[in-house]
Chain A
Amino acid sequence: MQTSLHTLRNGQRARITALPPGMCGRRLEALGLRPGKTIEKVSGMPFSGPVTLVLDGRQIAIGHGAASRVNVDPVSVPES
């Protein structure tokens, strides 16, 4: 099920499916965030603050507007 990055729950894992077009997407790609990569959302700040995620063990923060334009596919984690 497709959704956007900022709607993920904290701690939820997801696979990136599409980046926003233009400079913003290129900037994210240069940081290693690109379609096919799996990330884990760490937190989202209140009042439309930035979303923090972990990619390959490194935290990256993305402004709310940009995060809402990153499409992801949540990875279901089997209940343990």
Chain B
Amino acid sequence: MSNCCTSSGRCCPFSGGCPKALPDKTDGTILLVGNPNVGKSALFSRLTGVHAISSNYPGTTIGFTEGFFRRDESVWRIIDVPGAYTLDPTNEAEEVARRIVDEGADLVIIALDATALERNLYMALQVLETGATAVVALNMADEARHQGICVDVESLSRELGVPVVPTVAVTGSGISEMVEKLSEASKSTFSPMASDERWKTIGNIVAKCQTATCRRHTLRDRLEDISVHPLWGGLLGVFVVTGSFFVIRQIGEGIIGMILDPLYSGLVVPVLNSLSGMLGPGTFIHQIVIGSLIDGAIDPEQSFGLLSTGLYVPIVMVLPYVVAFYAVLSLLEDVGYLPRLAILFDALLHRLGLHGFAIIPNLLGLGCNVPGILATRVLESARERFIAATLISVAVPCAGLQAMIVGVLGPYGGGYVLAVYASMFVTWVVLGRLLHKLLPGYSPELVVEIPPYRAPSFRDLGLKLWFRVKGFLVEAIPLVLAGVLLVNLMYYVGAVDALSRFLEPVFTGFLGLPASAAGPIFLGLLRKDVAVGMLAPLGLSPEQLVVAMVVLSMTFPCIATFAVFWKELGFRKVLMSLGLMMLCALIAGKTVMVLMSLVG
């Protein structure tokens, strides 16, 4: 006996009774399909409550996201199909989309961008031609109205032969109406047609259903034109990039200086001090947990205990910059600036065997190389992916590494920090150019739709930031703790000294560094930020620090980057890339050393 029916009876809309309110539709699969950037991910998160990363850039939801959608007593599996312009695949995301659509589902929700109906209908018809049972969500209905585009929903529904519901996924308006319509989903009568015929059919539909009034040139249009102007767009790009770095630095420093450092010295240090007294300096357990005492006191950057350096470096020194970086990047992403940046960088990247799109993985790499290398999936060819992944591993410093470079080298003067960045940038350009010249094959051209600028949703921004920061905490903290423990033990058993003696010819003879720098550089394999921290107590001159940091940044990827590189591109390519990294590290390190001695 079911107790589902309450006195209101609201859960039993059908006479069939409960608990199966929608008897033949329980546990079905719904596909959510549409062009890139039509608000599909936002629609998905409205339906499932599980948040897929939804951004304003075509191609970010490659792979696919699944969720569950409950309505009354039925549970549906819902798949967010990667955005595609056509089911005759022209890239990897469209291939994935094609495969998922071919597998079939009980129901398909086709998301259309009401502001670009004609182009959106192309894939919509392709889907309807497969005989899918469908409902159309006419999304961005509000924006279309603003632009003077009026779509007659009734007649569009008649023409397509399936229900059409206007929605605004970012605000949630129209979503419940769409859910209501799911039970009226139907098959269309379109049969498969050739592309010319399909465009003709679309032309007829648009002529019947859409009226566009001539609209004024708005401020936003002007801003969009300026953004791709050779001069003004270039200046805007310089302003946005330098402004972003400035803001990231301010936020990062602010969080460290005003919140985390005072909290650490006020709350954590007293606890560590009394713990140190209890364990007794010099004992093995003290060495592991608290680390060595520097001048008789705990130094959070140099003691190398699990609870001292192991927590201080990731949480106090690195986390604030990671938060700041992802906040700024997510904002640029959701506003829709990143595709414009791709246009500005296309001419340069084209000469490195990539195209403008590749700026996105490289930018992500500035946060953490792992998502950067994952994002190389948006590039079409294996050649481009190898070049991009190698450039990221060699010459794109992650936020943790940058935070430590600025933290350790900053006190000696901004010029030294700049020298490290300049060396990496030059290496990035030179290596890319060489790979482009030497690797066989060619790289495809940039072809990208530029979405209009949009006001970001702060709910989505907050959630996206939270997921990215959570990803960092889960990934990084265990590795930092393991790194700190390993470094500590290696010093304890004398392994670092042995390694230093072994690598001494390279370091002292070739790079002008003390042999003791070999240990940190080798351990950069585990975590770069921890390794830079280890350089601090060695008493290097600022010039030597610059050389050591350049070498450390380029030699190996950290262990997490290495694993992702391997998984994405295969073992042979990782080996090739590793060879290039060591070569770059030695050449760049030597060049920087010579240049610094000439200048200094």
Chain A residues whose C-beta falls within 8 Å of the C-beta of B91 in the assembled complex: 27
Contact, CB under 8 Å: B350 / A56: no
Contact, CB under 8 Å: B445 / A65: yes
Contact, CB under 8 Å: B447 / A28: yes
Number of A-B contacts (CB under 8 A): 113
**Chain A residue at smallest Cβ distance from B228:** A52
Chain B, interface size category, equals: 35 or more
Contact, CB under 8 Å: A59 / B350: no
- Binary flags per residue of A25-56, CB closer than 8 Å to B gives 1, else 0: 01111111010000000111111111010001
B145 to chain A, nearest CB (A): 14
Chain A residues whose C-beta falls within 8 Å of the C-beta of B85 in the assembled complex: 27, 30-31
Contact, CB under 8 Å: A58 / B116: yes
**Chain A residue at smallest Cβ distance from B380:** A23
User: Does A57 sit within 8 A of B, measured CB to CB?
Assistant: yes
User: Does A18 sit within 8 A of B, measured CB to CB?
Assistant: no
> Contact partner of A50 among B118, B229, B343, B452, CB < 8 A?
B343
10 closest A-B pairs by CB: A63-B445, A32-B119, A30-B85, A49-B347, A63-B446, A66-B445, A30-B86, A59-B450, A47-B347, A52-B228
Chain B residues whose C-beta falls within 8 Å of the C-beta of A31 in the assembled complex: 85, 119, 447, 449
Contact, CB under 8 Å: A45 / B230: yes
User: Does B233 sit within 8 A of A, measured CB to CB?
Assistant: yes
Contact, CB under 8 Å: A45 / B119: no
Give 13 CB contacts A-B under 8 Å. Answer: A23-B444, A24-B444, A28-B447, A31-B119, A42-B225, A43-B230, A45-B230, A50-B446, A56-B118, A58-B119, A59-B450, A60-B448, A63-B356
Chain A interface residues (CB < 8 Å from chain B) = 23-24, 26-32, 34, 42-50, 52, 56-66
User: How many Å lie between the Cα of A59 and that of B449 in the bound state?
Assistant: 6
B209-246 residues at the A interface, CB under 8 angstroms = 224-225, 228-230, 233
Chain A residues whose C-beta falls within 8 Å of the C-beta of B86 in the assembled complex: 26, 29-30
Contact, CB under 8 Å: B450 / A48: no
> Contact partner of A56 among B90, B119, B195, B348, CB < 8 A?
B119
User: How many Å lie between the Cα of A62 and that of B453 in the bound state?
Assistant: 19
> Contact partner of B116 among A28, A48, A56, A63, CB < 8 A?
A56
**Chain B residue at smallest Cβ distance from A58:** B116
Chain A residues whose C-beta falls within 8 Å of the C-beta of B452 in the assembled complex: 58-59
B358 to chain A, nearest CB (A): 12
User: How many Å lie between the Cα of A27 and that of B86 in the bound state?
Assistant: 9
User: How many Å lie between the Cα of A44 and that of B91 in the bound state?
Assistant: 25
User: How many Å lie between the Cα of A23 and that of B339 in the bound state?
Assistant: 21
Contact, CB under 8 Å: A26 / B90: yes
Contact, CB under 8 Å: B447 / A49: no
User: Does B41 sit within 8 A of A, measured CB to CB?
Assistant: no
Chain B residues whose C-beta falls within 8 Å of the C-beta of A59 in the assembled complex: 224, 228, 449-450, 452
Contact, CB under 8 Å: B445 / A45: no
User: How many Å lie between the Cα of A50 and that of B195 in the bound state?
Assistant: 27
User: How many Å lie between the Cα of A60 and that of B449 in the bound state?
Assistant: 4
User: How many Å lie between the Cα of A26 and that of B85 in the bound state?
Assistant: 10
Known contacts: A23-B90, A26-B90, A29-B195. The answer to whether A46 contacts B447 by CB under 8 A is no
User: How many Å lie between the Cα of A64 and that of B449 in the bound state?
Assistant: 15
Known contacts: A45-B343, A60-B450. The answer to whether A30 contacts B350 by CB under 8 A is no
User: How many Å lie between the Cα of A28 and that of B449 in the bound state?
Assistant: 10
B129-154 residues at the A interface, CB under 8 angstroms = 147
User: How many Å lie between the Cα of A47 and that of B233 in the bound state?
Assistant: 15
A10 to chain B, nearest CB (A): 8
Contact, CB under 8 Å: B118 / A32: yes
Contact, CB under 8 Å: A57 / B147: yes
Chain B residues whose C-beta falls within 8 Å of the C-beta of A64 in the assembled complex: 346-347, 350, 445
User: Does B526 sit within 8 A of A, measured CB to CB?
Assistant: no
User: Does B355 sit within 8 A of A, measured CB to CB?
Assistant: yes
User: Does B342 sit within 8 A of A, measured CB to CB?
Assistant: yes
- Binary flags per residue of B412-451, CB closer than 8 Å to A gives 1, else 0: 0000000000000000000000000000000011111110
